[in-house]
């Protein structure tokens, strides 16, 4: 009897599992604009009770918290409160970094008052010639701080890394070959020459980027008694990475060489999704920048162009909260869309960047998010940016909102950094 009952269930489970991976394998992205379904976006300026938002006070006190909560409960998951006190340790500093051009600081940030692990190592370069305190760009990196520059003094990360031979990763660990392996994505000299500091941390220090049921990373530090994974409305990895960015911000508030009122948060791809969510939640970030962030970032989910909600949840089940699965092939049921994520940043400046060949991330959908966030900026007395058509390739547009689509593919280039620095100069009055 037992065996009879067991078999059909096992077979069913097996079938369900293989059809899932089959769905992931067989996914065919739509790249045909004429096949984008018709959709109606939720209106950021209509309350959930149907009333219109017509003044800044109602936006700030009612609608903004409502939208923030919807993103927390349905998309990225709720995040723990900030700690009362940040525990950190300055591990290394130099006033003669990068041929004497920069000050370097390496700061270890802890996530609790007592535990040593997990820890996040923050690398900070500040321009030596500028008057302090300086404005700063912060972005998480994919393969360790030592990959952003060949500076031999950068501590080589000993954290778990995703496989990548090109980045010198052997057995999921960085090696000396990893040094400077991502330098082409980090315009360190340009940033310093323009008078900005740069801070970065390895995202895997906060939560390693693989699905282990949330046993590693910072989530377990916050489990209630008896809890062993986040609830369906609690944070996934993107939520954790964003939380890590906020802890870096806690540190900037304590460092007298950094102007904590002029910190721009920037991220690429999955880390662009992260910078948007970090900037939406944490209003201390003065400027928020998304580089090729795509699905679950700046791109409108309802367009289903390139990567879709179902596909991202199937392939990266740990990035969002479990509730986000409700919207797999069911985007119209979402109480939000990604233009509302940009709207949460208002009235602070936000910049979205796309690349022509990065169709997977849906450049047009990224642009439209900015367009549809604009009414919130206008309500708050900011001009937005006035564009209704995607601009010419390689021609950034910048007002309070900024956007460009550049030549090339999914990457971060000097063109991107130059635009972000121009945008920051404009808003920081430099």
Q: Based on CB atoms, which residue is closest to ligand GCU, 270 or 372?
A: 270
Q: Based on CB atoms, which residue is closest to ligand GCU, 240 or 376?
A: 240
- Under rule CB under 6 A, residue 310 binds ligand GCU: no
- Under rule CB under 6 A, residue 303 binds ligand GCU: no
Q: Based on CB atoms, which residue is closest to ligand GCU, 307 or 337?
A: 307
- Under rule CB under 6 A, residue 75 binds ligand GCU: no
Size of the site for ligand GCU (CB under 6 A): 6
What is the closest distance, in whole angstroms, from the C-beta atom of residue 201 to ligand GCU in the complex? Answer: 16
Catalytic residue among 269, 275, 301, 369: 269
318-357 residues near ligand GCU, rule: CB under 6 A? none
What is the closest distance, in whole angstroms, from the C-beta atom of residue 429 to ligand GCU in the complex? Answer: 33
- Under rule CB under 6 A, residue 139 binds ligand GCU: no
Instruction: Return the HEC string of the chain.
Output: CHHHHHHHHHHHHHHHHHHHHHHHHHCCCECCHHHCCCCCCCCCCECCCCCECCCHHHHHHHHHHHHHHHHHHHHHCECCCCCCCCEEEEEEEEEEHHHHCEEEEEEEEECCCCCCCCEEEEEEEEECCCCCCEEEEEEEECCCHHHCCCCCCCCCCCCCCCCCHHHCEECCEECHHHCCCCHHHCCHHHHHHCCCEEEEEEHHHCCCCCCCCCCCCCHHHHCCCCCCCCCCCECCHHHHHHHHHHHHHHHHCCCCCEEEEEEEEEEECHHHHHHHHHHHHCCCCCEEEEECCCECCCECHHHCCECCHHHHHHHCCCCCCHHHHHHCCCHHHCCCCCHHHHHCCCCCCEEEEEECCCHHHCHHHHHHHHHHHHHHHHHCCCCCCCCCCCCCCCCCEECCEEEEEECCCCCCCHHHHHHHHHHHHHHCCC
Q: Which of 118, 127, 294, 402 is the binder for ligand GCU (CB under 6 A)? A: 294
Q: Based on CB atoms, which residue is closest to ligand GCU, 195 or 272?
A: 272
Q: Based on CB atoms, which residue is closest to ligand GCU, 184 or 253?
A: 184
**Distance in angstroms (rounded) separating the CA atoms of residues 230 and 77:** 9
What end-to-end distance do the CA atoms of the chain give, in Å?
A: 78
21 is catalytic: no
User: Per-residue x/- mask for ligand GCU, residues 167 to 196, rule CB under 6 A?
Assistant: ------------------------------
What is the closest distance, in whole angstroms, from the C-beta atom of residue 47 to ligand GCU in the complex? Answer: 31
269 is catalytic: yes
Q: Which of 126, 295, 340, 344 is the binder for ligand GCU (CB under 6 A)? A: 295
Q: Based on CB atoms, which residue is closest to ligand GCU, 127 or 294?
A: 294
- Under rule CB under 6 A, residue 312 binds ligand GCU: yes
- Under rule CB under 6 A, residue 204 binds ligand GCU: no
235-274 residues near ligand GCU, rule: CB under 6 A? 269-270
What is the closest distance, in whole angstroms, from the C-beta atom of residue 292 to ligand GCU in the complex? Answer: 7
What is the closest distance, in whole angstroms, from the C-beta atom of residue 42 to ligand GCU in the complex? Answer: 22
What is the closest distance, in whole angstroms, from the C-beta atom of residue 269 to ligand GCU in the complex? Answer: 3
Q: Which residues are catalytic?
A: 269, 410
Binding residues (CB under 6 A) for ligand GCU: these are: 269-270, 294-295, 307, 312
């Amino acid at each position: 009897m037992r065996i009879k009952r067991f078999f059909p269930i096992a077979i069913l489970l097996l079938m369900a599992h293989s059809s899932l991976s089959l769905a992931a394998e067989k996914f065919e992205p739509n790249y045909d604009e004429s096949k984008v379904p018709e959709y109606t976006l939720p209106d950021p300026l209509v309350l959930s009770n149907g009333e219109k938002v017509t003044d800044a006070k109602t936006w700030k006190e009612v609608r903004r918290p409502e939208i923030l909560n919807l993103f927390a409960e349905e998309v990225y998951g709720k995040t723990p409160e900030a700690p009362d006190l940040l525990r950190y340790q300055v591990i290394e500093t130099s006033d003669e970094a990068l041929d004497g051009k920069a000050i370097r600081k390496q700061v270890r940030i802890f996530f609790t008052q007592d535990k040593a692990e997990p820890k996040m190592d923050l690398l900070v370069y500040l321009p030596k010639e500028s008057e302090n305190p300086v404005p700063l760009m912060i972005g998480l990196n994919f393969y360790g701080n030592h990959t952003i520059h060949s500076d031999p003094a950068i501590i080589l990360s000993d954290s778990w890394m995703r496989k990548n031979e090109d980045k010198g990763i052997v057995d999921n660990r960085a090696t000396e070959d990893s040094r400077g392996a991502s330098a082409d994505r980090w315009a360190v000299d340009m940033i310093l020459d323009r008078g900005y500091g740069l801070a970065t941390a390895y995202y895997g220090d906060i939560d390693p980027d693989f699905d282990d049921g949330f046993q590693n990373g910072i989530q377990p530090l916050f489990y209630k008694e008896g809890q062993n994974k986040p609830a369906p409305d609690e944070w996934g990895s993107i939520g954790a990475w964003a939380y890590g960015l906020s802890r870096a911000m806690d540190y900037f508030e304590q460092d007298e060489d950094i102007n904590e009122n002029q910190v721009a948060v920037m991220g690429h791809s999955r880390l662009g999704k992260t910078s948007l969510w970090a900037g939406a939640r944490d209003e201390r970030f003065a400027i928020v920048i998304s580089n090729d962030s795509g699905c679950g970032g700046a791109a409108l989910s309802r367009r289903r162009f390139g990567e879709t909600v179902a596909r991202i949840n199937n392939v990266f089940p740990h990035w969002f909260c479990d509730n986000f699965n409700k919207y797999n092939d069911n985007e119209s049921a979402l109480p939000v869309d990604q233009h509302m994520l940009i709207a949460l940043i208002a009235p602070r400046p936000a910049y979205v960047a796309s690349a022509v060949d990065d169709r997977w991330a849906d450049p047009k959908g990224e642009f439209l998010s900015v367009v549809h966030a604009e009414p919130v900026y206008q309500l708050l007395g900011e001009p937005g940016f006035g564009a209704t058509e995607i601009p010419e390739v390689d021609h950034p547009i910048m007002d309070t909102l900024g956007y460009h689509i550049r030549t090339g593919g999914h990457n971060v280039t000097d063109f991107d950094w130059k635009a972000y620095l121009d945008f920051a100069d404009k808003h920081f009055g430099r």
